[in-house]
């Protein structure tokens, strides 16, 4: 056998199958005949929906198997070393080959200083003499572009932002000078602006260090930015592989095309195209093509024989016998253009007037001394009017107060100041003070259906709650109405007797949508309702919400950190930073120029599934522990900051016309000129 040289791939996975044995004694493969080669310095992306086996594959490359899994065949080698045989593997792991698992940043030990955690990684994986470790820690922190690395070593993880924590995790992985880095969803859960920063860092690391990277993600935009080569996984197998350009621009597999079509487009108000159905469970794959049940091009031959990877018409290789037809399938920008709603010019269905919300508890002392109430509440000055049938998109990063606003409308948190009215009638601040008839008209849909559906109730019981409470339905009438509601969210009546755990993520969220619409509400408040879902499922849920509100003229406040998703659904957009409105107006105006500097930063950071698209990093990646007491909320991160005035005076509201408002000390005309220049 040859010693690791240029012709021995760094990571060589050959015909690898991994699986488990079910209770019934059937062998269920999770990975099937995977062949993947990663050469030195190469960046390879693994993409696919949840459950497609991408994380399992990344772990196997390290020689790890999740509990219960075993290798059914094939092998994994790192620089010639068999990673599935015990000897010598431990020396490679963490050193020459490092893994950054999902949420690695959040997984830092909270009670140990940053410097000590990195030093520990050095002790384990570095050959440097002990005396040099302290200097090396600072060097590593600088390498992942953390500001003031010298001062950072004494900080604790919670003092860092999510993006900074993720960088520390990367610095730890770099401690052993790895030849290859495996990253599992390294930016999932980070804000768009932060994600863009981390991706640029990874991209530069790969380019400058000659380190190979395997990047696992469901996010095609992130993969497009970092990876030169992409493998698309479906039901445990690689269905397409090629250069990023080949896979993203001219994909030859119907699944790859479907995935790309399901991503909302920032440029236009279009609904993304959903990919119906769901991936097969392990072991449930038939003889033929695993994608056949969801494939529009499937023909008889697809069902009988599983194809091999063959050269694709669009470049690369593909596992589809009809690839020639697949390359002609419609892709992005072919979703339906969303029709603008017509408003009758009547009053609003929901109005918020100068709402402020604070979580600060007033101590007894504060109450006695009559200390002023919270000077900088988490949410302040929120004024907006929602018209019947209209959708307002509420955009902002994590912690910007989006959920807080929805909760105060729903009466779950009493506002500190301000008032809310429902069709002109003032709403009591808290749920307990509101009539059931009033409560019926405003319904909430939550981010994560695993949290918002009671795991101990069947779908029938879940739907019975609003139907019983608001309409007094029971017995046969209740059942009939429940089946009707399920049909509206495209689920069959047989789901009624299931528990949430027996549904997929997308199906659960549809049940949550059905439960909200069961109340026949005037307003639905949607809190990140698609962020826990795969893009293909997200597209379906977005389409569903759009249909429902169109049919019933239900108004909607749609909260999301994803500008593409908001673009697909919203008539008007409100951009929020630290609980303050930065910009608001018709969607077309907010997504066009001029923009508030924060909106500009958000839009610049959006990733497109296109290898030629480069995000612009504008806002500084720092932690904010709360809104500043005075001045502009965005002052600490603003790239256009004017100076003293931004720190002292609240920015004025400039109305540009048609309800488009920007709150910034820079006049709109100046902003427009600066932003139009390249």
Ligand X SMILES: Nc1ncnc2c1ncn2[C@@H]1O[C@H](COP(=O)(O)OP(=O)(O)OP(=O)(O)O)[C@@H](O)[C@H]1O
Does 410 contact other proteins by CB under 8 A?
Answer: yes
Nearest approach, Cβ of 454 to other proteins (angstroms)? 4
428 makes contact with other proteins (CB under 8 A): no
Q: How far is the CB of 429 from ligand X (least distance, A)?
A: 16
556 vs 344: CA distance, rounded Å = 17
Give the nearer residue to ligand SF4 in terms of CB position, either 86 or 643.
643
Long-range contacts of 422-429 (CB under 8 A, 24+ apart): 422/349, 422/350, 422/522, 422/523, 423/347, 423/348, 423/349, 423/350, 423/522, 424/347, 424/351
CA 392 → CA 102, 310, 344, 351, distances in Å? 32, 47, 17, 12
The C-alpha atoms of residue 405 and residue 66 are separated, in whole angstroms, by 41
- Contact call for residue 398 and ligand X (CB under 6 A): yes
- Name the segment binding ligand X (CB under 6 A); options: 130-138, 396-404, 590-598, 603-611: 396-404
By CB under 5 A, is residue 403 in contact with Mg ion? yes
User: Binding segment for other proteins among 222-230, 351-359, 456-464, 634-642 (CB under 8 A)?
Assistant: 456-464
**Does residue 378 touch ligand X according to CB under 6 A?**
yes
Residues 338-397 that bind other proteins (CB under 8 A): none
By the 8 A CB rule, do 600 and 426 touch?
Answer: no
Map 589-615 to HEC letters.
HHHCCCCCHHHHHHHHHCCCCCCCCCC
Euclidean distance between CA atoms 86 and 92, whole angstroms = 11
For the sheet with 70-78, list strands across it: 27-38, 11-21, 70-78, 81-82
Judged by CB under 8 A, how many residues of this single chain contact other proteins?
A: 29
- Residue count of the chain, please give it: 678
List binders of ligand SF4 among 565-604 (CB under 6 A). Answer: 597
CA distance 195 to 126: 28
| Stretch near other proteins under the rule CB under 8 A, chosen from 102-110, 150-158, 215-223, 433-441 | 433-441
Question: Which of 93, 640 has the CB closer to ligand SF4?
Answer: 640
Q: Which of 587, 632, 637, 643 is nearest to 617 (CA)?
A: 637
Rule CB under 6 A: say whether 523 interacts with ligand SF4: no
Q: Does 312 bind ligand SF4 (CB under 6 A)?
A: no
Contacts of ligand X in 518-577 (CB under 6 A): 561
* Residue 408 engages Mg ion in binding (rule: CB under 5 A): no
Backbone angles phi, psi at 596, to 5 degrees: -60, 145
Residue 578 token pair = 């630290």
Q: Which is nearer to ligand SF4, 197 or 640 (CB)?
A: 640
Cβ atoms of 97 and 179 within 8 Å: the answer is yes
- Complex with other proteins: residue 159 or 450, whichever CB lies closer: 450
The listed partner (ligand SF4, other proteins, ligand X, none) that binds 410, CB under 5 to 8 Å by sort, is other proteins
Does position 399 interact with ligand X (CB under 6 A)? The reply is yes
CA-derived radius of gyration, the chain: 26
- Tell me which stretch binds ligand X (CB under 6 A): 35-43, 253-261, 397-405, 425-433: 397-405
CB 405, min distance to Mg ion, A: 10
Find the binding residues for other proteins in span 460-489 (CB under 8 A): 461, 465-466, 469-470
Site stretch for other proteins (CB under 8 A), options 137-145, 290-298, 438-446, 552-560:
438-446
From Mg ion, other proteins, ligand X, none, interface partner of 246 (C-beta below 5 to 8 A by class): none
Contact between 628 and ligand SF4 by CB under 6 A: the answer reads no
Angstrom distance (rounded) from CA 113 to CA 95: 22
Angle in degrees, CA 315, 316, 317, rounded to 5: 120
List the one residue from 206, 259, 320, 568 that touches ligand SF4 (CB under 6 A): 320
Q: Which stretch binds Mg ion (CB under 5 A): 402-410, 486-494, 576-584, 654-662?
A: 402-410
CB-CB contact of 552 with 485 (8 Å): no
* Region 510-549 residues binding other proteins, contact defined as CB under 8 A: 515, 519
Stretch that binds Mg ion, among 36-44, 160-168, 181-189, 400-408 (CB under 5 A): 400-408
Stretches 61-69, 138-146, 395-403, 539-547: which one binds Mg ion (CB under 5 A)? 395-403
Q: Are 453 and 512 in contact (CB under 8 A)?
A: yes
C-beta of 215 vs 634, nearer to ligand SF4:
634
Q: Measure the CA dihedral 621/624/630/631, to 10°.
A: 20
Q: How far is the CB of 402 from ligand X (least distance, A)?
A: 3
Catalog residues that contact ligand X under the rule CB under 6 A: 359, 378, 396, 398-404, 561
């Amino acid at each position: 056998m040859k010693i690791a040289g240029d012709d021995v791939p760094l990571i060589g996975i050959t015909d690898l199958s991994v699986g488990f044995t079910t209770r019934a004694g059937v062998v269920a493969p999770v990975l099937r005949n995977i062949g993947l080669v990663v050469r030195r310095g190469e960046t390879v992306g693994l993409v696919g929906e949840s459950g497609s086996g991408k994380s399992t594959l990344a772990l196997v490359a390290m020689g790890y198997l999740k509990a219960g899994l075993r290798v059914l065949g094939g092998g994994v080698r790192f620089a010639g070393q068999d990673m599935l045989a015990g000897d010598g593997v431990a020396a490679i792991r963490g050193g020459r080959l490092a893994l950054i698992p999902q949420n690695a940043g959040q997984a830092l030990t909270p009670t140990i200083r940053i410097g000590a955690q990195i030093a520990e990684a050095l002790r384990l994986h570095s050959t440097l003499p002990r005396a040099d470790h302290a200097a090396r820690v600072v060097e590593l922190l600088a390498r992942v572009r953390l500001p003031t690395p010298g001062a950072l070593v004494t900080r604790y993880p919670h003092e860092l932002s999510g993006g900074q924590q993720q960088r520390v995790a990367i610095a730890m992985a770099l401690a052993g000078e790895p030849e290859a880095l495996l990253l599992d969803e390294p930016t999932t859960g980070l804000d768009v602006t932060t994600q863009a920063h981390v991706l640029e860092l990874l991209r530069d690391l790969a380019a400058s260090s000659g380190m190979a990277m395997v990047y696992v993600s469901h996010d095609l935009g992130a993969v497009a930015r970092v990876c030169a080569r992409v493998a698309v996984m479906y039901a445990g197998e690689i269905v397409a592989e090629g250069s990023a350009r080949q896979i993203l621009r001219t994909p030859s597999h119907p699944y790859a095309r479907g995935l790309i079509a399901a991503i909302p487009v920032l440029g236009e108000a279009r609904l993304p195209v959903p990919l119906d159905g769901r991936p097969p469970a392990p072991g449930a794959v038939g003889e033929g093509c695993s994608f056949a049940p969801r494939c529009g091009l499937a023909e008889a031959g697809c069902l009988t024989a599983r194809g091999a990877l063959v050269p694709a018409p669009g470049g690369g290789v593909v596992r589809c016998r009809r690839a020639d037809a697949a390359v002609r399938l419609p892709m992005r920008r072919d979703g339906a253009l969303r029709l603008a709603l017509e408003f009758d010019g009547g009053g609003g269905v929901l109005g918020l007037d100068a709402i402020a919300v604070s979580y600060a508890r007033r101590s007894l002392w504060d109450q006695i001394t009559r200390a002023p109430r919270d000077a900088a509440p988490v949410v302040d000055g929120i004024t907006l009017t929602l018209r019947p049938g209209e959708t307002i998109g509420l955009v902002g990063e994590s912690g910007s107060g989006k959920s807080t606003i929805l909760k105060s409308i729903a009466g779950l948190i009493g506002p500190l100041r301000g008032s809310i009215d429902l069709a002109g009638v003032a709403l009591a601040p808290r749920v307990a003070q509101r009539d059931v008839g009033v409560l019926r008209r405003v319904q909430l849909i939550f981010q994560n259906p695993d949290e918002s559906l009671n795991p101990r109730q069947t779908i029938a019981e879940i739907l019975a709650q609003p139907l019983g409470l608001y309409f007094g339905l029971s017995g046969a009438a209740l059942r009939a109405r429940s089946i009707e509601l399920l049909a509206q969210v495209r689920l069959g009546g047989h789901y009624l007797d299931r528990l949430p755990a027996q549904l997929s993520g997308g199906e659960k969220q549809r049940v949550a949508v059905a439960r909200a619409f069961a109340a026949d509400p005037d307003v639905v408040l949607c809190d990140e309702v698609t962020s826990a879902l795969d893009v293909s499922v997200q597209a379906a849920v977005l389409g569903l919400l759009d249909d429902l509100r169109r049919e019933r003229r239900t108004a909607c406040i749609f909260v999301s950190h994803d500008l593409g998703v908001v673009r697909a659904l919203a008539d008007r957009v409100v951009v929020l930073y630290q609980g303050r409105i930065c910009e608001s107006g018709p969607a077309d105006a907010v997504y066009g120029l001029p923009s508030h500097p924060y909106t500009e930063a958000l839009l610049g950071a959006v990733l497109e599934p296109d290898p030629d698209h480069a995000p612009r990093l504008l806002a500084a990646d720092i932690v904010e522990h709360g809104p500043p007491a005075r001045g502009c909320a965005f002052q600490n991160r603003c790239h256009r900051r004017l100076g003293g005035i931004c720190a002292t005076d609240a920015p004025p509201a400039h109305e540009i016309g048609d309800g488009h408002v920007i709150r910034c000390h820079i006049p709109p005309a100046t902003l427009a000129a600066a932003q139009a220049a390249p």
